[in-house]
């Protein structure tokens, strides 16, 4: 089983995943874009001075606020695909896995839908209001300014059908975790990921 948490930067996915690990009666492994990719590359590939072999940052302003976008280089695609294959392997071996993701970039999203085809995937949207993630980003001070807002519309694609959508701006992390775990317990056959994959791959 794979629980795919999708949400923009500062939406609370990592905190949510850790609480789910604590609350779940079974063992849940927690992986994601941070642990599988960002820590694998040297700083120059992800943060200034940006050698652009990995990820390019584009910063602008919108309505007087910083607005950041990430452009993934094809150099990175095999790395991302390998991470998704790793999640698939764990699932096939009988492990339960939480994947903490920020689904942007057409190629990366396509790899998820192709590689995890046939796996049992709970597709969970972690979506507070945009103002909430902007405020969190400012308060944390350890994120690229404007990234949460810049990714917001990309990450929550209208082509995605979630099994469950949680608003971590209105619910506490504990309440969000309980809601997801209860949904998993009561719904043995999730369909959101399969429906989303069909819409995405046929568009």
In the prediction, which pLDDT does 41 show? 67
In the prediction, which pLDDT does 60 show? 83
184, with CB counted inside 10 A (0-12, 13-18, 19+), is buried
The CATH number linked to 141 is 3.40.50.300
Instruction: Please tell me the total count of domains within the chain.
Output: 1
pLDDT of the chain, 203 residues: tens digit per residue? 999 999 998 999 999 999 999 999 999 999 987 777 667 766 655 554 455 567 777 888 887 788 888 888 888 888 889 999 999 999 999 999 999 999 999 999 999 999 999 999 999 999 999 999 989 988 887 777 888 888 898 899 999 999 999 999 999 999 999 999 999 999 999 999 999 999 999 97
Are the CB atoms for 14 and 100 separated by under 8 Å?
yes
Are the CB atoms for 99 and 32 separated by under 8 Å?
yes
Please, which residues bridge with residue 98 across strands?
Answer: 3, 30
In the prediction, which pLDDT does 146 show? 86
- What is the distance between the alpha carbons of residues 16 and 99, in angstroms, rounded to a whole number? 11
Instruction: List the domain range (segments joined by +) for residue 141.
Output: 2-202
Angle 101-15-186 (CA atoms, 0-180°, nearest 5)? 75
């Amino acid at each position: 089983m794979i629980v795919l948490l999708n949400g923009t930067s500062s939406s609370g996915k990592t905190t949510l995943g850790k609480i789910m690990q604590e609350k779940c009666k079974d063992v849940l492994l927690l992986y994601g874009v941070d642990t599988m990719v960002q820590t694998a590359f040297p700083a120059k590939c992800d943060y200034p001075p940006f050698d652009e072999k990995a990820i390019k940052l584009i910063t602008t302003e919108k309505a007087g606020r910083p607005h950041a976008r990430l452009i993934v280089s094809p150099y990175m695609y095999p790395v991302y695909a390998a991470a998704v294959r790793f999640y698939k392997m764990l699932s096939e071996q009988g492990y339960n896995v939480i994947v903490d993701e920020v689904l942007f970039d057409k190629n990366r999203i396509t790899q998820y839908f192709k590689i995890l085809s046939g796996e049992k995937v709970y597709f969970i949207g972690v979506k507070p209001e945009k103002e909430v993630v902007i405020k969190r980003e400012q308060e944390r001070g350890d994120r690229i300014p404007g990234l949460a807002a810049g990714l917001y519309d990309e990450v929550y694609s209208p082509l995605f059908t979630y099994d469950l959508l949680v608003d971590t701006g209105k619910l506490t992390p504990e309440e969000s975790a309980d809601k997801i775990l209860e949904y998993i317990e009561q719904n043995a056959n999730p369909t959101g990921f399969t429906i989303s994959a069909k819409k995405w791959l046929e568009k």
